[in-house]
């Protein structure tokens, strides 16, 4: 017997994935399309954790009104099913839904038919779940650890111990300690491989000191530009041509909440000032004490 001839199956049409465009702006790349609303609604939990508090409250209020409106329409569809409510009154049904969803139960209005009791049961369960979810989201937003760390608006390249050195500084804006603070610095730039392929390559920048047991005030980070540095032999024009950017990543343990906190900053090529130094922010009083003046935290001076 001849085996039946199978018809060729057509490949299933796959939903085209959204395009992500990358735009370079003086060494800093922007991912266009990442903020599209459809991508946020695919992950509503992440959306509700990352939007501002004003947006979070607006979303919660909108969902609350929408749920009560939906159940008010269901009560209207049941006719005269709520005692002491005016027949056909949407407002009475809406406010009865509010009392049911929040488990208030004033007693002035109550279900008087089997249909209404079924809807009340469903709404009561949704209310319990909704309160639990809303409480969990609010607690997650309040308890999320954050670091209030400021970075200098520019970085400088200046001699240090006779070696050209890339420098930037950072400060802790909270009156506490970040324990076991660790700093990682990466240089990103466009490069061409031996095969002629254009790639975006990361280089680790070795720091004179990349960690501190307690970060509380100010911290000056330094990377010596020697023959092992990716900065070696480059000029300001070459940094711009290769879309060079410096990515800063700080992590440590917040002393107050005993949780790991992170901070991130990016310096574009035009944020790097050559042959300049930072203005000193440490000063001495007449009685011999030292203090820090953050008014000049971002200021730099050209070398003589």
Residue 299, pLDDT > 80, answer yes
Residue 227, pLDDT > 80, answer yes
Give the predicted TM-score (pTM) of the model.
0.68
The per-residue pLDDT for range 70-108, each reduced to its tens digit, is 999 999 998 889 999 988 899 999 999 999 998 887 888
Task: Mention every residue, 6+ apart, whose C-beta is less than 8 A from residue 203.
Answer: 186, 187, 188, 189, 230
The per-residue pLDDT for range 154-179, each reduced to its tens digit, is 999 999 998 999 999 999 888 888 99
> Are β-strands 272-274 and 290-292 bridged in parallel, bridged antiparallel, or unpaired?
unpaired
The per-residue pLDDT for range 228-246, each reduced to its tens digit, is 999 998 999 999 999 999 9
pLDDT at residue 163, rounded to an integer:
92
How far does the chain reach from its first CA to its final CA, in angstroms? Answer: 97
Mean pLDDT, residues 41-53: 80
Q: Which residue has the higher pLDDT, 168 or 39?
A: 168
The per-residue pLDDT for range 181-222, each reduced to its tens digit, is 999 999 999 988 888 888 989 999 999 999 999 888 889 999
Give strand ranges (E) for 11-95. Answer: 21-25, 28-32, 82-83
Share of the chain above pLDDT 70, in %: 87
Rounded to whole angstroms, the Cα distance separating 226 from 161 reads: 12
What is the pLDDT confidence band of residue 12, given thresholds at 50, 70 and 90?
low
Residue 5, pLDDT > 80, answer no
Residue 64, pLDDT > 50, answer yes
133: left (phi over 0), alpha (psi -120 to 50) or beta: alpha
The per-residue pLDDT for range 240-280, each reduced to its tens digit, is 999 999 999 999 998 888 889 999 999 999 999 999 999 98
What is the pLDDT confidence band of residue 52, given thresholds at 50, 70 and 90?
confident
**Tokens 């488990």 label which residue?**
103
pLDDT at residue 70, rounded to an integer:
95
pLDDT at residue 284, rounded to an integer:
79
pLDDT at residue 143, rounded to an integer:
80
Q: In whole numbers, what is the pLDDT of the chain averaged over residues? A: 85
Alpha-carbon Rg of the chain, whole angstroms?
A: 30
DSSP codes of every residue in 225-253? -STTSTTTT--HHHHHHTT-EEEEEEEEE
User: Across the strands, what pairs with 252?
Assistant: 261
Rounded to whole angstroms, the Cα distance separating 129 from 133 reads: 6
Mean pLDDT, residues 19-26: 52
Phi, psi of 151 (to 5 degrees): -110, 150
Residue 20, pLDDT > 70, answer no
* Per-residue tokens: 125: 């369960």
Torsion angle of the four alpha carbons 248, 254, 258, 260, in this order, in degrees rounded to the nearest 10: -10
Q: Are 24 and 266 in contact (CB under 8 A)?
A: no
Q: Are 178 and 255 in contact (CB under 8 A)?
A: yes
pLDDT at residue 208, rounded to an integer:
93
């Amino acid at each position: 017997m001849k085996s039946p001839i199978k018809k060729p199956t057509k490949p299933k049409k796959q939903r085209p994935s959204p395009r992500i465009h990358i735009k370079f702006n003086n060494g800093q790349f922007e991912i266009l399309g990442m903020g599209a609303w459809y991508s946020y609604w695919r992950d509503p939990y992440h959306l509700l954790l990352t939007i501002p508090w004003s947006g979070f409250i607006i979303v919660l209020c909108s969902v609350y009104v929408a749920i009560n409106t939906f159940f008010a329409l269901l009560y209207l569809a049941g006719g005269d099913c709520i005692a002491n409510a005016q027949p056909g009154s949407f407002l009475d049904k809406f406010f009865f839904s509010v009392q049911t969803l929040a488990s208030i139960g004033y007693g002035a209005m109550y279900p008087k038919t089997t249909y209404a009791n079924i809807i009340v049961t469903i709404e009561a369960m949704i209310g319990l779940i909704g309160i639990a979810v809303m409480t969990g989201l609010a607690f997650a937003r309040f308890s999320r650890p954050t670091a209030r760390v400021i970075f200098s608006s520019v970085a400088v390249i200046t001699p240090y111990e006779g070696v050209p050195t890339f420098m930037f500084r950072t400060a802790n804006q909270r009156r506490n300690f970040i324990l076991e603070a660790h700093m990682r610095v990466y240089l990103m730039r466009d490069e061409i491989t031996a095969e002629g392929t254009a790639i975006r390559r990361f280089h680790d920048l070795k720091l004179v000191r990349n960690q501190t047991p307690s970060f509380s005030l100010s911290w000056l980070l330094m990377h010596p530009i020697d023959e092992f540095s990716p900065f070696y032999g480059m000029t300001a024009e070459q940094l711009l041509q290769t879309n060079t950017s410096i990515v800063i990543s700080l992590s440590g343990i917040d002393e107050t909440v005993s949780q790991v906190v992170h901070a991130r900053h990016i310096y574009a090529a035009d944020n790097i000032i050559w042959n300049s130094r930072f203005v000193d922010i440490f000063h001495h009083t007449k009685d011999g004490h030292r203090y820090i003046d953050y008014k000049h935290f971002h200021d730099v001076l050209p070398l003589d």
